[in-house]
Copies of this chain bind each other. A is one copy, B any other.
Amino acid sequence: MVRKEITIKDVARLAECSPTTVSRVINNSEHPVSKDTAEKVEAAIKRLNFSPNRIAQGLKNDKSNIIGVIVHDICDSYFAQMIKGMEEFISEHEYIVNIYNTSRDVDKELHAVNMLKANRADAVVFAAGALMDKRYEREMYNVVEQLKSQGTILLGVTPHPFAIKNISLANQKAAEMITDYAIENGHQKIAFISGPQNLYTSYLRKQGVIKSLENHSLQFKQELLFEGDFTFEGGRKAALSLLNKIDQITAVVAANDATALGLIWELNNQGVKVPAEISVLGIDDLPEAKYSYPPLTTISLPIYNLGTNIGEYLLAQLNEEYDINIKPVEPKLLTRDSLKNIE
């Protein structure tokens, strides 16, 4: 297959003018163009179905129009929603949304950043939480510095161990809020299902739980800490290992909704009544959280909105409008039916 690209020159030939003039018409340039030629150019453009080569424009203007987005798992609603929110805003404004799915793998994460560097991305969003890994931190730091000196705009959702603007997602606060709620409803024997070990987000959410307990003069008990991985399956497994300590527990806070949903499912499966015998709480408010049995009490983190806010912020930055801030997104308690008041 032979590429036969239509260029500004073809348009110029047809409109009987110079490429320069065509360029002026295309870009609504300040530089005056007579109405007559402008019309001829427009006609030629239409006739040839010409659209200017954005790649070439980019080369000239020192812009790639690429916005990179790094996520852990696009199949996870959390990331899917964020991407959708960003995409909504960004591709409307003629930017290319370039997704990387890293499965929390250090190499893939580095590969993504290096590609983005090679493609001279205009902006990179670290939508995925930072990995807690020495090599990741070290090598990321380097590439990020290189991206910076290229002029790439960088943005992290949740804190990252390199100097870029980070949006706090209130992870810790969310975990604190949901734990507070449990305690206010008379729960003291609270288990926690963690997220993946190597993820900073996991760490923050755990800290939130600990803080809430401390604020209420309660102690975080290591034996009531179970490991999860932010997935439904992980929640199911946690439910199983939780089973033989069930008399020591009245409520379980899961590090995220996917985990909580898995918990509820497996508890039901094992004949343990939620919330009659044990309360289950989540964080995120996934779309499916309201359809579990019972509907999940959780903290809403409006991720889709976060996505659009990020998009808005990036565009402002890219247009060099400086004093713009990212609109914050507030966690909100959603009381449904998976918690029982036991006071």
Contacts and interface: CB of A to CB of B under 8 A. Distances in A.
Interface residues of A, number: 59
A209 interface: no
A52 B101 contact: no
A98 interface: yes
B4 A53 contact: no
Interface in A133-170: 142, 146, 149-151, 153
Contact of A84 (B59, B101, B261): B101
5 contacts: A3-B150, A52-B118, A84-B101, A91-B115, A94-B115
A338 to B, nearest CB: 15
Nearest to A49: B146
Interface string A217-232: 0000000000000001
Interface of A: 1-5, 49, 51-56, 58-59, 62, 64-66, 73-75, 77, 80-81, 83-84, 87-88, 91-92, 94, 96-101, 111-112, 114-115, 117-120, 142, 146, 149-151, 153, 232, 261, 265, 268, 287-288, 291, 293
A94 B1 CA distance: 21
Nearest to A98: B96
B92 A119 contact: no
A100 B87 contact: yes
A75 B81 contact: yes
Given A74-B87, A114-B51, A96 B66 contact: yes
A71 B111 CA distance: 25
Contacts of A55: 55, 58-59, 64, 119-120
Contact of A118 (B51, B81, B287): B51
A119 B96 contact: yes
